[in-house]
């Protein structure tokens, strides 16, 4: 299945929303004591990083295409 740049942006937003919502009322001590939560946060950050790292060239190309279409 072909993925569009919106899909990559949505992946990043989904992980950011998870981190923001889950950390809202969380103290550092609670975070530090909860291994499952720490692992989930680390995984969310990995997903964000991998999406950015792997898909930036794709996103850059898409942005250039859109920009060129607007200019024409």
Q: How do residues 3-40 score in pLDDT, each as one tens digit?
A: 777 888 898 899 999 999 999 999 999 999 999 999 99
- Its domain, for residue 63, covers 5-71
pLDDT digits (tens, 9 = 90+) for 34-70: 999 999 999 999 988 888 777 667 667 776 787 778 7
Residues 6+ apart with CB under 8 A from 37: 22, 26, 30, 31
Provide the whole-model pTM: 0.68
Query: What span, in angstroms and rounded, lies between the C-alpha atoms of 38 and 44?
Result: 10
Contact (Cβ atoms closer than 8 angstroms) between residue 57 and residue 17:
no
CA distance 72 to 64: 12
The predicted structure's pLDDT at residue 42: 94
| pLDDT, position 72 | 64
Per the structure, how many domains does the chain have?
A: 1
Query: What's the distance, Cα to Cα, between the start and end of the chain in Å?
Result: 30
């Amino acid at each position: 299945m072909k993925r569009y740049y919106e899909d990559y942006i949505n992946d990043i937003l989904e992980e950011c929303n998870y981190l923001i919502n889950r950390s809202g009322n969380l103290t550092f001590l609670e975070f530090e004591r909860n291994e499952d939560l720490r692992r989930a946060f680390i995984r969310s950050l990995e997903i964000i990083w991998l999406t950015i790292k792997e898909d930036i060239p794709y996103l850059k190309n898409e942005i250039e295409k859109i920009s060129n279409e607007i200019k024409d």
